[in-house]
A = this chain, B = another copy of it.
């Protein structure tokens, strides 16, 4: 089966100068993939030409006359820019012309437009953002929600756990992935009211064999790899993720400046460059680029806004594997089985969406 991915080529801090090289590199690796490049036709064509890829037969250009900027209010992204590259790319999924959409645009806008165009999956109250982080076991830790929902009730966190579990099953082939509930301590008595009530819901699922609930985990468990999935509300998830990114950037700066300090340290770095390269690879945030917007009636992946071409390509690769592993199908099936029936909520995006 050919896997088709639509790309919002104008999104992110760099736009086509990043998204097009990433698309070209990706298409050359994956012979069963096709890409729909959405955005300003002239600009995309010029960028393809620059990289001698104008005649690559599995790259298709789809013109969209507008683009959502990082500063656009949700209102503008949703109601005014109806021909934005972001929206048109998402519409390809809706209309069955692509299996997944990837954008590096504004997270809040991407979530809002995705909810508006694709609608929320039956049984899901609120879509969530799920990303992966490296851990000491050299595997990924899946974490959600990372910013879509800043005010959560226990049943929202419960749904995040179910969606995370299905995603890990499909993407990693783990039959019963372990779920940790992010908390300030591991004992049952720890935490705020929302977390304590969520633990009860997850424990009940665990007891009837529906989910593999490990229990409470703490911030450091993300990197220990204690559980496959770490569940939290979007406020905690977003702050934690950004703090982690901030620390990684800070440490990288310290490493670089100290090794460049004098000829001796530079010589040491030169001799040990294989170690430095492997360190850089293992903690390289590019490898972990590509967050899934879970709970929509279609696959949408969000790349980091500042992603360079190699990082954006990782997001494409993640979208490709999600489509190939039928993540969307698994989600529908499992949610229908696992999710307690609740009245469906309005599809209009709310002001609580963030990024």
Contacts and interface: CB of A to CB of B under 8 A. Distances in A.
A192 B235 contact: yes
A42 to B, nearest CB: 33
Interface string A173-194: 0000000001111000111110
Q: Oligomeric state, in number of copies?
A: 2
A282 interface: yes
Nearest to A277: B258
Contacts of A136: 250, 253
Given A150-B184, A151-B193, A221 B246 contact: yes
A235 B191 contact: yes
A238 interface: yes
A131 interface: no
A242 interface: yes
Interface string A132-166: 00111000000000010011000000000000000
A246 B222 contact: yes
A174 to B, nearest CB: 21
Given A267-B271, A267-B272, A275-B265, A223 B238 contact: no
A247 B288 CA distance: 15
Interface residues of A, number: 67
A71 B352 CA distance: 39
A239 B231 CA distance: 12
A65 interface: no
Contacts of A224: 246, 250
A150 B218 CA distance: 14
B246 A220 contact: yes
B351 A189 contact: yes
Interface string A210-254: 000000001111111000000010111011111111111111011
Given A192-B235, A258-B275, A259-B272, A243 B243 contact: yes
Listed residue (A195, A243, A249, A278) with the most chain B CB atoms within 10 angstroms of its CB: A243
B239 A219 contact: yes
A244 B250 CA distance: 12
B222 A184 contact: no
A349 interface: no
B268 A272 contact: yes
Contacts of A303: none
A1 interface: no
Given A269-B268, A269-B272, A184 B239 contact: yes
Contacts of A251: 248, 251, 283
Nearest to A225: B250
A10 to B, nearest CB: 22
Interface of A: 134-136, 147, 150-151, 182-185, 189-193, 195, 218-224, 232, 234-236, 238-251, 253-255, 258-259, 261, 264-265, 267-276, 278-279, 282-283, 351-352, 354-355
